[in-house]
Amino acid sequence: EAGVAQSPRYKIIEKRQSVAFWCNPISGHATLYWYQQILGQGPKLLIQFQNNGVVDDSQLPKDRFSAERLKGVDSTLKIQPAKLEDSAVYLCASSSSPRQYFGPGTRLTVT
């Protein structure tokens, strides 16, 4: 079974630039999550999708972050404009049960 795919794996941008991350969940998983993990901290949920509908986006900084899940499968997370404090690993996870399967993450560095 293929795992959760994410790209790119690494990204370096300057502040005020835009960036987008892509996630392809495990086939058949209805629920998709985006997490932000800042160095030394645990993953923090940004947004949760059930199929292509948003279940929880209460911790998504909506003035600069946006996410969509096309046709209930792939998802993209965008940051526009980026700030220095957005430097983190962005993890995508999917699930069809309480257990979540994580992708390898995208490490974003904002300079």
Residues 103, 23: Cα–Cα separation, whole Å: 8
x/- string (CB under 8 A) for another protein, residues 17-56?
A: --------------x--------xxxxxx--x-------x
For the record, the structure tokens of 103 come out as 């992708």
For the record, the structure tokens of 102 come out as 């994580």
Instruction: Single out the segment in contact with another protein by CB under 8 A; choices: 13-21, 61-69, 72-80, 93-101.
Output: 93-101
Residue closer to another protein by CB (options 22, 102) is: 102
Q: Is residue 37 packed enough to be buried (19+ CB in 10 Å), middle (13-18) or exposed (0-12)?
A: middle
Residues forming beta bridges with residue 49, ordered by sequence position = 32, 54
Check residue 108 for interaction with another protein (CB under 8 A).
no
Please report, as ranges, the residues that interact with another protein according to CB under 8 A.
4, 31, 40-45, 48, 56, 91, 93, 97-105
